[in-house]
């Protein structure tokens, strides 16, 4: 039978629905609010969710929108309400809800709706991950606005310093729902007029220009001449400077056309507080696609990710999340798992890569402050937030240590796994 998640802030309703569905042979999980629902949805991946609209922390419609934007609406959701209106039912259906139950819920109506919704599960199409999912990240909310603003004025948009999965997330953000998606990176034959016409109104995507062969470059030039006529949006990413493409044999005029309008991916460094949420959503996305086992981060693991200096930027973060999911022995990824993966990368890449060339271009005072921040972040990660061990490691008295961390902008108060 099915696994059903019931989300309702009223204990009596949760228990009543649970008893009825358990008697029918279903496995039932209960959540009293949106926070518990998020956790259980990530850990259990239910076959069906019964979701109350009116809840104290986050209402059901908002949670439904969150799951839909994050590509997490991979199961049927039936909304419930004792104060339901036609408008709320219509809005929920528009977002992606399968059905609507009005309280008090009759036994036969409940069983019939559950049976119908579970049949609907096989028809669901998994939505791709977009920047809409990162609603709590100022860094990515700003990137989304910049992408939409630029794409509104041009049919050719270049993503600088990007490639692979993060480039696809950006491009998917610009894709209108249910419109075509054509990935030139995977094309093994030359593009034809017919192929472009079938993609009309959609996105022509290139994960990394640096990886295109001569045939694909010719296809790209062919497509560029027909974008506006076919209402196609080209979103191309490049991990290399455009000048390097020309040096490797690309046509200079073609490269010049691609580089007319561009948006650069923001750097993760300097936005440490955004990292845990970004990593958690990427992890959930990989699990939904079946690329990694079902995993979730402990609070200690999130702190370790927050403290790390991502000199490899997006590629390093994406690779770390994937490797953590594949190598962790337990369903919960621990701080030790994160430390093991990140220390391995440091050992392989060497210390020199930890200091970018721009570091040495700073005045001495700024360089010294930057080094001190790196130094303390490194040891905070190694000591897993323990101020006692950090004081011993650095040779500083605790009062001086707290003052120094505050001066460097290291917000130790937000690290949940300090164990002194």
Question: What's the token pair of residue 76?
Answer: 């049927």
Instruction: Look at residue 264 and give its three-state secondary structure.
Output: strand
Are the folds of 3-123 and 131-264 the same?
yes
> What is 3-123's CATH superfamily?
Response regulator (3.40.50.2300)
Compute CA distances 212 → 109, 169, 185, 239, 249, whole Å: 56, 20, 7, 12, 11
Q: What is the mean pLDDT of residues 173-183?
A: 91
pLDDT above 80 (res 343): no
Assign 412 a pLDDT band (cuts: 50, 70, 90). Answer: low
The residue with tokens 């210390």 is: 351
pLDDT above 70 (res 310): yes
Question: What's the token pair of residue 212?
Answer: 């295109």
pLDDT above 60 (res 420): no
Task: Report whether CATH 1.10.10.60 matches the domain 359-420.
Answer: yes
Assign 358 a pLDDT band (cuts: 50, 70, 90). Answer: low
- What DSSP character marks residue 186? G
Any idea which of 120-134, 137-151, 273-287 has the lowest mean pLDDT?
A: 120-134
CATH architecture of 131-264: 3-Layer(aba) Sandwich (3.40)
Bigger pLDDT: 131 or 135? 131
Report domain extents, the chain: 3-123, 131-264, 269-354, 359-420
Position 414 scores a pLDDT of: 43
Is 0.95 surpassed by the pTM of this model?
Answer: no
**CA–CA dist 172, 132 (Å, integer):** 10
**CA–CA dist 235, 182 (Å, integer):** 10
Triad 396, 402, 405: Cα angle to 5°: 95
- Decide: 282 and 128 in contact? Cβ < 8 Å: no
The residue with tokens 């770390």 is: 320
pLDDT tens per residue across span 94-114: 888 999 999 999 999 999 999
Q: Name the residue among 104, 101, 108, 106 with its Cα closest to residue 76.
A: 101
Position 184 scores a pLDDT of: 92
Q: What is the mean pLDDT of residues 159-164?
A: 81
User: Which of the four CATH numbers 1.10.8.60, 1.10.340.30, 3.40.50.10490, 2.30.30.140 does domain 269-354 have?
Assistant: 1.10.8.60
- Decide: 170 and 162 in contact? Cβ < 8 Å: yes
Question: What's the token pair of residue 69?
Answer: 């934007």
**CA–CA dist 151, 159 (Å, integer):** 11
Q: Which pairing describes strands 332-333 and 296-297: parallel, antiparallel, or unpaired? A: parallel
Buried (b) or exposed (e) across 3-21, using 16+ Cβ within 10 A? bbbbbbeeeebbebbbebb
Q: What is the mean pLDDT of residues 213-227?
A: 94
pLDDT tens per residue across span 280-303: 888 887 887 778 888 889 988 998
Query: Sign of dihedral through CA atoms 22, 26, 27, 30?
Result: negative
């Amino acid at each position: 039978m099915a696994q059903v998640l019931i989300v309702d802030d009223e204990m009596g309703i949760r228990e009543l629905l649970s008893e009825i569905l358990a008697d029918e042979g279903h496995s039932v999980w209960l959540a009293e609010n949106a926070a518990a629902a998020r956790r259980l949805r990530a850990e259990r991946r239910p076959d069906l969710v019964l979701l109350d609209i009116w809840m104290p922390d986050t209402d059901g419609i908002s949670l439904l929108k969150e799951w839909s934007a994050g590509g997490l609406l991979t199961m049927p959701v039936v909304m419930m309400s004792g104060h339901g209106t036609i408008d709320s039912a219509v809005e929920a259906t528009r977002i992606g809800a399968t059905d609507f139950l009005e309280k008090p819920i009759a036994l036969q109506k409940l069983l019939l709706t559950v049976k119908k919704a579970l049949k609907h599960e096989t028809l669901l199409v998994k939505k791709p991950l977009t920047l809409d999912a990162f609603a709590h990240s100022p860094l990515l909310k700003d990137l989304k606005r910049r992408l939409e603003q630029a794409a509104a004025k041009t049919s050719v948009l270049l993503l600088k310093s990007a490639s692979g999965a993060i480039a696809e997330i950006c491009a998917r953000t610009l894709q209108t729902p249910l419109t075509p998606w054509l990935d030139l990176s995977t094309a093994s034959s030359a593009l034809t007029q017919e192929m472009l016409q079938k993609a009309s109104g959609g996105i022509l995507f290139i994960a990394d220009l640096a990886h295109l062969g001569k045939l694909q470059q010719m296809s790209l030039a062919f497509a560029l001449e027909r974008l506006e006529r076919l209402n196609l949006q080209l979103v191309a990413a490049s991990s290399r400077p455009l000048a390097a493409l020309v040096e490797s044999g690309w046509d200079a005029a073609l490269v010049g056309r691609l580089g007319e309008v561009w948006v650069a991916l923001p750097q993760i460094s300097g936005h440490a507080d955004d990292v845990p949420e970004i990593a958690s959503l990427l992890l959930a996305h990989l699990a939904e696609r079946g690329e990694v086992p079902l995993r979730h981060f402990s609070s200690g693991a999130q702190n370790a990710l927050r403290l790390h200096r991502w000199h490899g930027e997006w590629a390093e973060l994406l690779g770390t999340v994937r490797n953590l999911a594949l190598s962790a022995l337990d369903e919960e990824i621990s701080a030790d798992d994160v430390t093991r993966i990140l220390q391995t990368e440091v050992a392989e890449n060497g210390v020199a890569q930890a200091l970018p060339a721009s570091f040495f271009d700073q005045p001495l005072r700024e360089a010294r402050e930057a080094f001190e921040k790196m130094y303390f972040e490194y040891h905070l990660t190694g000591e897993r937030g323990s101020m006692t061990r950090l004081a011993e490691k650095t040779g500083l008295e605790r009062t001086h240590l707290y003052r120094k961390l505050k001066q460097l902008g290291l917000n130790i108060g937000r690290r949940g796994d300090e164990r002194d």
